[in-house]
Amino acid sequence: MSPQLLDDKVEPIYQEVLRRNPGEVEFHQAVREVLESLGPVLVKHPEYKERKIIERICEPERQIIFRVPWQDDKGQVQINRGFRVEFNSALGPYKGGLRFHPSVYLGIIKFLGFEQIFKNSLTGMPIGGGKGGSDFDPKGRSDDEIMRFCQSFMTELYRHIGEHTDVPAGDIGVGGREIGYMFGQYKRITNRYEAGVLTGKGLHYGGSLVRTEATGYGATFFVHEMLKAKGQSFDGKICTVSGSGNVAIYTIEKIRELGGKCVACSDSNGVIYHEKGLDLDLIKQLKEVERRRIKDYVDYHKDAKYINNGNIWEIPCQVAMPSATQNEINGKDAQTLVKNGCIAVGEGANMPTTPEGVKVFLEAKIAYGPGKAANAGGVATSALEMQQNACRDSWTFDYTEKKLEEIMINIHSLCYEIADEYGCPGNYVVGANIGGFIKVANAMVAHGLI
Ligand code: GLU
């Protein structure tokens, strides 16, 4: 299946991105997906074309690459590569997570940083876009090794970040433990207790309630809104959620609260299928407390099935929530989902559907919520954490969750209305891309040529 053609006005911009960023295929994919929506925007707003706003948005403001040396438990020296891409600060300080995973290279960080610009804009909060990480593989590493790595990583990163400059958080491989070690090192080096420099902090030192749950809860609120717009609800719906990390866990929790039934989740080795509904407490115990693999689930539930190397998208469901990683749903998976009766897809992960898969969902006219809208609840709650830090306050769980829900409802309405305005009703891809772009573009016009 061929991807959508690009408008004449944006094709040369895409060609220049390809030329300037060779081999960075995930970045190309993320840029292309946004540019596919922007042709009609340039017709309505010739000032964006004159001022080369799209060309400027595609070029990061700053890219930092650094060596991260550390010693493992055997005393061996290890070298990793660290990244921070400060993509766009038109709306606020750079904001976005850090990913520690062996697949990380500049192209992954740039795709994530690029998506983050539009996602952060959609939240309506004052945050720009950035992303960072390392090709460090935390799997199988001891707590001490993780600490030494995080300290070495921050020993370089600290000079580039700050509460008004760039505010990192977690992503794949970076959770509360890693944020704690990095915060400690930042505090030690700078001699400043600057709570707002990182988000996703522990609750006892400036973290926000609901931040842990936020990405999964937010994605579920978004899907709930999409279902409502179709006159439906989660009630009684069979759902599958890929992954079993932070996003997946709190997606399963909120789906259950809203009346849906999750029957499957996964990790990079295989899939758990439990027809009577997943045991969430067990998943939390295995993943959050004991840091084990999901295959151990069947030791506790004999009626559940573990499918080694299985494909979760072959399990029939009405709602699918990809919450693992990029490009986990291809064109064929998307066809299988649609054929099996899936009516809604909400992306908890960043760019989990390939362009072929997206095309299948849009042509089938199912409710498809792209990551930059559906998973914006995580970073939105990071912005709420920054607000609390700025006024040295901490809000209750219920108050913070209500704010998150309002933000997700607003993102949904914005995407829905813009899709209508641009003649593509129900197309949340167009709504999210244009809705996210316009605010950034207007701020860039206001700031002049910088
Ligand atoms: N990594 C998350 C994301 O993809 C959260 C980033 C943040 O909280 O800054 O949006």
Q: Which of 447, 442, 450, 449 lies closest to 48, judged by CA?
A: 442
CATH at 258:
3.40.50.720
State whether 76 and 113 are in the same domain: yes
Which of 340, 359, 374 is a domain's end point? 374
Token pair for 389: 């830090």
The residue among 139, 160, 194 that closes a domain is 194
Q: How many angstroms separate the CA atoms of 375 and 270, rounded?
A: 23
- The rounded distance, in Å, linking the Cα atoms of 428 and 425 is 8
Pocket of ligand 1 contains residue 383 by CB under 6 Å = no
Quick one: which atom of ligand 1 is closest to the CA of 171?
1
Token couple for 137: 């593989």
> Do 156 and 253 fall within a single domain?
no
Q: Does 415 reside within a domain?
A: no
Report the domain count for the chain.
3
Residue 377 Cβ inside 6 Å of ligand 1? The answer reads no
Alpha helices in 176-290 (DSSP H): 176-190, 211-229, 246-257, 280-284
Q: Please tell me whether residues 245 and 312 are part of one structural domain.
A: yes
**Do residues 21 and 86 share a domain?**
no
Q: Note every long-range contact of 202-207, with CB atoms under 8 Å and residues 24 or more positions apart, other chains counting.
A: 202/176, 205/180, 206/385, 206/388, 206/389, 207/176, 207/385
**Centre of ligand 1 from the C-alpha of residue 217, in Å:** 14
Ligand 1 centroid to 173 CA: how many Å? Answer: 12
268 and 329 inside one domain: yes
Is 379 near ligand 1, meaning CB less than 6 Å away? yes
Ligand 1 pocket, residue 132 CB under 6 Å: no
The pLDDT score that the predictor gives to residue 309 is 97
Phi/psi-derived region of residue 397, left when phi > 0, alpha when psi is between -120 and 50, beta in every other case: alpha
Atom of ligand 1 lying closest to residue 119 CA: 10
Question: Does the Cβ of 245 fall within 6 Å of ligand 1?
Answer: no
- Cα(169) to centroid(ligand 1), Å: 6
Q: State whether the beta carbon of 97 lies less than 6 angstroms from ligand 1.
A: yes
Which residue, 129, 190, 185, 195, is CA-closest to 153? 185
Judgement on whether residues 32 and 81 belong to the same structural domain of the protein: no
pLDDT of residue 1: 44
pTM of the model: 0.97
Cα angle value 18/24/29 (rounded, 5°): 70
Residue 126 Cα, ligand 1 centroid: separation in angstroms? 14
Our answer on whether the CB atom of 212 is closer than 6 Å to any ligand 1 atom is no
Indicate if 73 and 189 belong to the same structural domain. yes
Catalytic sites, residue numbers: 131
Q: Could you tell which of 379, 381, 389, 411 is best to mutate to test the pocket of ligand 1, judged by most ligand atoms within 8 Å of the CB?
A: 379
Question: How many A from CA of 172 to the centre of ligand 1?
Answer: 10
In a domain, 390, yes or no: no
CA 71 – CA 89 distance, rounded (Å): 35
Do residue 26 and residue 156 come from a single domain? no
Q: Which long-range contacts (CB under 8 A, 24 or more apart) does 39-42 make?
A: 39/6, 39/7, 39/8, 39/9, 39/10, 40/7, 40/422, 40/423, 41/434, 41/437, 41/438, 42/7, 42/9, 42/10
**CA–CA gap between residue 254 and residue 260 (Å, rounded):** 9
Contact indicator for 246, 219 with CB cutoff of 8 Å = no
Is there a single domain that holds both residue 251 and residue 343? yes
Q: Is the distance from CB of 201 to CB of 207 less than 8 angstroms?
A: yes
Domain that holds residue 114: 62-194
Rg of the chain over all Cα atoms, to the nearest angstrom? 21
Of the candidates 298, 344, 296, which has an alpha carbon nearest to the alpha carbon of residue 317?
344
Same domain, 188 and 285: no
Q: SS3 of 100, please?
A: strand
Q: Measuring from atom 9 of ligand 1, which residue has the nearest CA?
A: 96
How much distance in Å is there from the Cα of 283 to the middle of ligand 1?
A: 22
Q: Is the CB of 129 under 6 A from ligand 1?
A: no
Say if 425 falls within a structural domain.
no
User: Relative to the CA of 116, which ligand 1 atom is closest?
Assistant: 10
Q: Does residue 103 fall inside a structural domain?
A: yes
Residue 448 CA, ligand 1 centroid: distance in Å: 28
pLDDT, residue 5, reads 77
395 falls within a domain: no
Q: Report residue 212: phi and psi, to 5°.
A: -60, -40
Which distant-in-sequence residues (6+ apart) come within 8 Å of 329 by Cβ?
313, 320, 322, 337, 345, 352, 353, 354, 357
**Pocket test residue of 101, 115, 215 for ligand 1, highest count of atoms within 8 A of CB:** 215
Q: Which residues fall within 8 angstroms of residue 59, CB to CB, at 6 or more apart?
A: 20
Q: How far apart are CA 241 and CA 308, in angstroms?
A: 17
Q: Using CA atoms, how far apart are residues 250 and 218, in angstroms rounded to an integer?
A: 9
Query: Measured from the CA of 112, which atom of ligand 1 is nearest?
Result: 4
Residue among 382, 386, 407 whose CB has most ligand 1 atoms within 8 A, to mutate: 382
Residues 223 and 370 in one domain: yes
CA 48/CA 445 separation, integer angstroms? 8
Return the structure tokens found at 190: 């700078």
Taking the chain (450 residues) in runs of 10, the rounded mean pLDDT of each run is 76 98 98 97 96 98 98 98 98 98 98 98 98 98 98 98 98 98 98 98 98 98 98 98 98 98 97 98 97 97 98 98 98 98 98 98 98 98 98 98 98 98 97 98 97
Tokens (6 digits) for 269: 């080795």
Q: Is-contact 431 139, C-beta < 8 A? A: no
Q: What is the pLDDT of residue 179?
A: 98
Query: Which residue CA neighbors atom 5 of ligand 1 most closely?
Result: 379
Q: Is 426 part of a structural domain of the chain?
A: no
CA 111, CA 219: separation in Å to the nearest integer? 20
- Which of 57, 74, 90 is the last residue in one of the domains? 57
At residue 210, the 3 state secondary structure works out as: coil
* pLDDT of the residue at 3: 58
Co-location of 294 and 356 in the same domain: yes
State the Cα–Cα distance between residues 252 and 381, nearest whole angstrom: 19
Helix pair angle (106-122, 428-447), 10° resolution: 90
- Is 236 a domain residue? yes
Question: Rounded to the nearest whole angstrom, what is the distance from the C-alpha of residue 215 to the centroid of ligand 1?
Answer: 8
Q: Is residue 256 included in any domain, yes or no?
A: yes
Instruction: Confirm or reject: Cβ of 370 under 6 Å from ligand 1.
Output: no
Question: Residue 77's domain is classified under what CATH number?
Answer: 3.40.50.10860
